[in-house]
Every structure is written in C-alpha cells, then in structure tokens.
Amino acid sequence: MYRLVSTFVCLAVLFLQQSAFGQIEFFHGSFAEARELAKKEHKIIFLDAYASWCGPCKRMAKTVFSQAEAGDFYNKHFVNLKIDMEKGEGPALARKYQVSAYPTLLFIDAEGELVHYQRGGLPIDRFLQLGQTALSKIDHSGEFAARYEEGDRSPELLRAYAYALLMGGKPSLKIANEYIRTQEDWRTKENLDFLFDFALEADCTAFELLLEQQQKARAEKGEQVFLDQLLVAARATAKKAQEFQAPALIKEASKKLKKADAKLAKSFEAQAWVDYYIALKDWPKALKYSKKQLKKYGDAQMQHKYARIFGEAQLQEKYYKEALKWAKSAFEAKPSQEYGQTYLYLLRKLKQEEAAKKLVKELHEIGH
C-alpha cells in the first residue's frame, strides 16, 4: 500500500509540473538541415546536447521542455534541435562545440558559430533567462535604432532594422509596417520573403498582403511551408485573444485563414476556442468545446492533453469524470508510461482504488 501511495504522489507531482497548453517543438532533421532552416527563418538554433543515459537530461525534457512558457518562447525565437551526443552526428558535434557534460544547452547561429551555451540542467525560469541572454548576444538592432532616431527612413534601413529586431527577439511589426509602406511591388522575391518572414500574426498587414500573393508564395515556399506559416500566425493572434480577452480576434484569424485553406481554418478555430476558454477558466464552455474538438479531430495525443488540463484544474467531479474517459481512451490507444500516469492520476483523484491498483501493475509491466 505504501508503495502504491508513493507512486501516486510522485505521479501527481510530475502531472502538475507538465504543461497543459504546449511544449517545445523540436526539429526532426540533421544539424545541417537545422542550419538551413535557421537561415531561412532568421533564427538561431537551440541545441539540446544530451545522452540517453543522462538523468538531468530526462528531467529537463519532462519538466521544462514540456512547459507552455518554454514552448511559447523557444518555438517563436529558435529552431529547436535535440541530438544524442553519443550517436550519429553527435560525437562530431560534441568535439566541435566541446561538449563534455550533459545536458549542454547550445545556441548556434545559421553559420554554425557558437553564440552562447550552458552546461547542466536548469529550472524553467533560468531556462527562459538563458534564451533571452542568447538572443541579446545576436541583437544588432541598436546600431539601426540610432540611425532611425536620427531620421533615416530609407527602405534599406527599415528592412535591415526590422530583421535585426526579429533576430533579437524584439517587437518588429512597427518597423516592418513602415518598410511595407515604402513598397509597391510585392511580386519580387525579396518582398515576398519579407512578407513571409513578418506575417507573424493573422491581424497584421504582412499577413494580409501575403494572402494576396498566396499563389506565388505557395510556389516559392512550397504548399506545406506556406500553410504552416499562416497557422503559426493565426495561433499567435489566438494567443493575443486570450491575453486581451478579445474573442473577435479568433474569428478574424479564422476568416483570414479560410482564404488559404478552409479545412485548416476550421481545425484552427476549433482548437482556438478550447484554448481560449481554458485560459479564461470558463470551464463549462471549455468542456463544451473540448468535446466538439475531440469528436471531430481527436486522437490519443489530444485526448491525453485535455485529460491533463481538466485533471490539473480544481473543478467539480463531473469534469474529472470526462477527463478520466479521455485518459482511458488515450492509454488504451497508446499504452505508454506518460499516458498511463495521467490515467492513474485521475483514477486516484476519483478514488477508484481497485482500477488504480490494476493500472499500477500494468504500468510496472510496461516499464519492464
């Protein structure tokens, strides 16, 4: 009995540490491909240099990389990459960047030059500070800001200034819009690239102009890359809707996204309303929209996500019962430790002791 209770306590702590809303999205490709992507997106690379046996590496992956704050910040500003330093291209990179401890958190520019690094795991607050420090080291916007304050409004200055702000993780849309007002022909590759890079929110000028040029942009960037960029921008606007409690922004983003892909717009809006009401802690509406979302688009991953969200909140029993259904379905579809821990947490929360004991045994078998 003691072992069962101890297991539950540990799982509860882990459950509460994990993010309900998002996590760092890691690029699945080689280091060279990550460099190419960083160059295209005007970002630097965050490289998690880890080893498969490293305990602190696993803890960071579970308790830091999985948090919404980390996902929001690192997905916006970096190309994120995880590489086992003892496999594949890992040993060569370990020699190049002098990795001698795990994890080592590396920040590398598109040319392959080391910008900043940190040895050892970090809690979420220091991990976010680390990212800010890395961005500050590539922030060259000050030199352009001085010329701007002196009155230089040439297109060349505005374009360079906007990109410097973007690279440095600073607000860039004001200067980007000033550059946009100096231009007339958006069919050129240079200007099309600019629109693509600065279509950061669905409710900005660059996004609207990119939609006007979408035929050429699709051909230049590729269908999936183009749609992915629009979706990222729409999600940024949905996030702003939460911050300012402005639901009209979600409708605006969906309406604009529909001009590019109606199916994608419907999927985006369904998710956006769930996240909106969760952020506002309007649980009756959050439950209503979660059910709709799961019915139409749900898979094991989404079921698990919502089970965690509702399980984590301080709610009435009826909400936990819905969350338990989702957790059970997710675990049955994908019997993993992660999904099982969420399922167990909710069983214990609802005092279903016999089912919890049975699941503990099943999880033990999965672990071995």
Which of 51, 54, 234, 346 is an active site residue? 54
The sheet carrying 44-50 orders its strands as 78-84, 44-50, 104-108, 114-119
Alpha carbons 195 and 208: distance in angstroms, whole number? 9
Alpha carbons 207 and 196: distance in angstroms, whole number? 8
106's enclosing H/E stretch is: strand 104-108
Which of 57, 134, 166, 270 is an active site residue? 57
Residue 54 annotated as catalytic:
yes
Residue 57 annotated as catalytic:
yes
The length of the chain, given as a count of residues:
368
> What single string gives the DSSP state of each residue in 16-58?
HHS-SS--PPPP-S-HHHHHHHHHHHT-EEEEEEE-TT-HHHH
Of 68, 32, 67, 27, the C-alpha closest to 48 is 27
DSSP state of 65: T
Count the Cβ atoms, other than its own, within 10 Å of residue 33: 13
- DSSP H helical ranges for 65-201: 68-77, 90-96, 124-137, 141-149, 155-167, 173-181, 189-198
Among left, alpha and beta (phi > 0; psi -120 to 50; other), residue 216 is: alpha
SS (H, E, C) 213-224: CHHHHHHHHCHH
> What single string gives the DSSP state of each residue in 191-221?
HHHHHHHH--STTSHHHHHHHHTHHHHHHHH
Angle made by CA atoms 13, 14, 20, in degrees to the nearest 5: 110
Angle made by CA atoms 168, 171, 175, in degrees to the nearest 5: 100
| Residues tagged active-site | 54, 57
